[in-house]
Structure 1
């Protein structure tokens, strides 16, 4: 029973230290949009993930700006990114997506911002629990957390691929439909032109015969 309580307490320590925000945003053409998060502790870890799900060539410009307008990282025409960096300053961090390069295509961007606000606390000593058991349990929790993070990243990757492939299929369907319409119009036009030429030929022949 004490082992289960210790396991639950350790799991709570790992979960409660991280705050995150996952959003989906539709970025209009010629639009720049920014999202903000506040960091209370110097040295906190910030995880930033984004992926363009649809629109244009599935790319976007991004920029991460820290306090005092210091650029932490940026990139141009990126399809997706997964970064972890250390917040060296306390204050507001700005995460911006820029679609000003596109004149007509809107883009759907999935992104997540996670901030580890606190240092991980030390486990309280329990009677009947040896340091070896505590260390082994902590290592198991870390492995479990790493595996869950890997699964989460894989799910995001497959979701992104599915959305992009679906968008490609829809774009191909539209092109095939438009091509079929153009082909049908051309066939009707050619048929009408042939009828007009044949009628003009026979009318000219009748006049010459008379």
Structure 2
């Protein structure tokens, strides 16, 4: 593949969220491959517009994310790419004097829930950003097509005017002699 991204070493059985979306360029499609440290292909896709996957790291090491744009080599593509940790082990904070462990765990649970909700909002915003970019590209394409349609239509009207003048002139000419109107 043309472009690849290697990530820091993952721990075994860690879950990672892998998200990508083509923001602009061509038909908004790209080929991709995800390989583990032993070069085994975990995920692959051809002509995909976007993807949202959960990967489990079964092997410790660097994972490669490869993207390929061979089907439209003349068109550059802008790709939104994100990898998030889903199940990271929690660190135990040092115990403070006079602090109750139950209150700390309830507070931590609230923080983790809020973090999950914020990540969900972030993903939703990325989705809407992708939709906005694709919609804008469709609008630009439509405006361009309307412009050329209007130019061709204007040329057709002018051409028809010349044809009508020629036809009318041929009606009023008789074997080399013209009648004046």
1:2-60 deviations in Å (ceiling 9; x for gaps):
xxxxxxxxxxxxxxxxxxxxxxxxxxxxx942222131533333322111112233222
1:83 aligns with 2:53: yes
Instruction: Could you tell me which runs of 5 or more consecutive residues in structure 2 were left unpaired when the two chains were aligned.
Output: none
Q: How far apart, in 2, do the equivalents of 1:208 and 1:133 lie?
A: 107
Instruction: Could you tell me which runs of 5 or more consecutive residues in structure 1 were left unpaired when the two chains were aligned.
Output: 1-30
Query: What TM-score comes out, normalization by structure 1 length?
Result: 0.74
The residue that corresponds to 1:102 in the other structure is: 72
1:38 aligns with 2:8: yes
Q: Would the aligned equivalents of 1:40 and 1:117 in 2 still touch at CA under 8 Å?
A: no
The residue that corresponds to 1:165 in the other structure is: 135
The residue that corresponds to 2:99 in the other structure is: 129
> How far does residue 156 in structure 1 lie from its aligned partner after superposition?
0.6
Q: Would the aligned equivalents of 2:22 and 2:28 in 1 still touch at CA under 8 Å?
A: yes
Larger proportion of helix: 1
> How far does residue 114 in structure 1 lie from its aligned partner after superposition?
3.7
Q: How far apart, in 2, do the equivalents of 1:155 and 1:46 lie?
A: 19
Backbone CA RMSD of aligned residues: 2.5
Secondary structure (helix, strand or coil) at the match of 2:127 reads helix
Query: How many equivalent pairs are there?
Result: 179
Q: Comparing 110-119 with 128-137, which one deviates more in the overlay?
A: 110-119
The residue that corresponds to 1:199 in the other structure is: 169
